[in-house]
Structure 1
């Protein structure tokens, strides 16, 4: 996907674009990956910063950013099936990290088959592999 064809921006919770992002999360995490619905949506969605990627007028990716005292957590990274392998996740992660103050520490939990993506942004895996939503995950952070 040419970079000019992709727009990445933040959207307010429960705006039309954020609701479309929630619909994408439901399609990928709950339907495709069979994550239990009660585990997918939580109270953090109310206060998170929501990022979307738009291509050809459609939401093709989303993630959320949660700030706490220790770090900035990037989570719920999802890309539509039709847009995978086109740099959408990388564009969203770069955008999300650039929004934060320089020197920020970032944290996330990654599906174990996705760690190479996050390593490109300086994330390093730590701890043991654990189950989250029925899939193996590992914690990762930047230093």
Structure 2
């Protein structure tokens, strides 16, 4: 477990410093490591969604973006830099995001097969059959925020 406290920051849109930190993490993980086309990874939705970044010792280490729609929010683009994995930083980031959602909110996401356990530990349940997205097997998952 990382010995320093993680600070979570967020901002709307793709013009600020938090988005730039999120973009750096996503580039390292999704484009460089997983081989996803940057044109697919960085889409027009980046300009309209909320981007979260977890910082340890002022270094951006984990990220996610949130797409709210009424009483539903979709968590997307969850990534942690390789050298910070295994320290539960993505879990901490997601717990922060979930804690900010009002009771009754349905939180959805499409988990890469390798990350299903992370989301299950946070209370997410699989929905439907696995499917392929950008050449990677995914599983739709859902969690309803309790009162």
TM-score, normalising length: structure 2: 0.90
Using the TM superposition, give the Cα deviation of residue 128 of structure 1 relative to its aligned residue in structure 2, in angstroms: 1.5
Instruction: Specify the alignment match of 1:83 in structure 2.
Output: 84
For residues 133 and 56 of structure 1, the distance between their equivalents in structure 2, rounded to whole angstroms, comes to 33
Does structure 1 conserve the Cα–Cα contact (< 8 Å) formed by 2:6 and 2:54?
yes
Structure 2: unaligned runs, 5 residues or longer:
none
Residue 9 (structure 2) pairs with residue 9 (structure 1): yes
SS at match of 1:142: strand
Distance 1:39 1:24, change over 3 A: same
Moved more, 9-18 or 33-42: 9-18
Which residue of structure 2 lines up, in the alignment, with residue 56 of structure 1?
Answer: 57
TM-score (ref. length: structure 1) = 0.93
Across the two proteins, how many residue pairs are aligned to each other? 142
Deviation sequence 1:58-87 (CA, Å, 0-9, x none)? 100110010113621001000001110101
**1:62·1:76 contact (CA, 8 Å) conserved in 2?**
yes
Segments of 5+ residues of structure 1 without an aligned counterpart are: none
Contact 1:10–1:49, Cα closer than 8 Å, also in 2: yes
1:39-68: per-residue Cα shift (whole Å, max 9, x none)? 111122111111100012110011001011
Aligned residues: CA RMSD:
1.3
The answer to whether the 8 Å contact 2:12/2:47 transfers is no
Larger deviation, residues 72-81 vs 11-20 = 11-20
Does the 8 A contact of 2:71 with 2:105 survive in 1?
no
Runs of 4+ in 1 over 4 A off after TM superposition: none
